[in-house]
Chains A and B, each alone.
Chain A
Amino acid sequence: MVDAERLFAAHREGLFRYLCRIVGRAEAAQDLTQEVFVRVVRTAVPTEDPAGSRAWLFRIARNLALNHLRDARRRPEPAVLLDRAQPAVQELGVALTEALNALSEADRDVFLLRETAGLSYAEIGVACELSVDAVRARLHRARVELRTTLGDAIGRHRRRPVSLHHGERT
């Protein structure tokens, strides 16, 4: 049996980043991250390989996020993440949120699970109930769309250092 608390602790940052991008509100993402923890400690973690456990963890997070978004559509509280310190970052944050919202739900999920949480194609497939080929196709489509939508922002950031690694540090 995988230790639920250890599993959660190992991926807490990735979960928060993913939920933050999905729901667009840091406070809601914090609440949902805690909710994931509650669900994880209540349920028996699958005794599969670590990748399977990670996919299972993010599947819980994804389901909670989708439920939250469905509830939020009934409440008039749409919001975006802004950076109060830097207007340029704020503008980019709004553009990024809008570009992500313009993607289909499944494409956005696949893209964010990859870029914010670092899941492999196989793990994303498990989390989203898709084949690896479908994950590959959706991920590419999301990147092409975002590249088009955020062309100006990407152009402005081309001179900054880039890395092969994403935010996940586990």
Chain B
Amino acid sequence: MSEPHEMIIDAFLDGEPVDAERLTEALGDAPACQYLADVLVLRGLVGSDPGADAVVAPARTTAASRRTWIAAAAVVVAAGSGFGLGWRAAGNRAALIAPPGSPAVAISVSAPEPTAVIRLESGVDWDERRW
């Protein structure tokens, strides 16, 4: 199959001026004839009305959308990990304020010392009758 024959076939199919002798020669080439038939089929496929009864469907995942999903997954994992750590820390604090009678828990954290003491007296700083 020769490319010049296909180019002659192209021009013929597209309504462009073609040398009759060269067209005859091209049509005598079996692969070029097969090319002609295939281009006509291709024309039928592409030329069919693309808007008729068509619906839009999402295409396959692109690299950009994959990156978006990976970033979203990373955010979810980070948020989940933070929640887990917070949950564990909250569990430790609950152990520190366990009610009397509960099993003894080793307290490794002591309460901070007060930096200022404010003294309030009844009748001076507030009036109980008003309450």
A residues lining the B interface (CB < 8 Å)? 16-17, 20-21, 25-27, 29-30, 76, 78-85, 92-93, 96, 100, 111-112, 114-116, 120-121, 136, 139-140, 143-144, 146-147, 150, 153-154, 157-158, 160, 162-164, 166-167
Contact = CB atoms under 8 A, between A and B. Distances in A.
Chain B at the A interface: mostly helix, strand, loop or mixed? helix
B59 interface: yes
B108 interface: no
B50 A147 contact: no
Contacts of B15: 120
Contact of A81 (B11, B38, B40, B54): B54
A146 B42 contact: yes
Interface stretch (B60-68, B74-82, B85-93, B98-106): B60-68
A158 to B, nearest CB: 6
B56 interface: yes
B41 A157 contact: yes
Interface in B1-53: 3, 6-7, 10-11, 13-16, 35, 37-53
Contacts of A154: 38, 41-42, 45
> Top 9 nearest A-B pairs by Cβ distance?
A162-B40, A167-B47, A26-B51, A20-B50, A78-B59, A81-B54, A79-B56, A166-B47, A115-B46
A162 B44 contact: yes
A147 B39 contact: yes
**Band of interface residues on B:** 35 or more
Nearest to A146: B42
A81 B58 contact: no
10 contacts: A26-B54, A83-B55, A84-B54, A121-B16, A136-B7, A139-B14, A143-B42, A160-B41, A162-B44, A163-B44
A17 B50 contact: yes
B45 to A, nearest CB: 6
A83 B57 CA distance: 10
Contacts of A93: 50, 54
A27 B54 CA distance: 10
Contact of B57 (A80, A160, A162): A80
A114 B14 contact: yes
Contacts of A158: 37-38, 41
A26 B38 contact: no
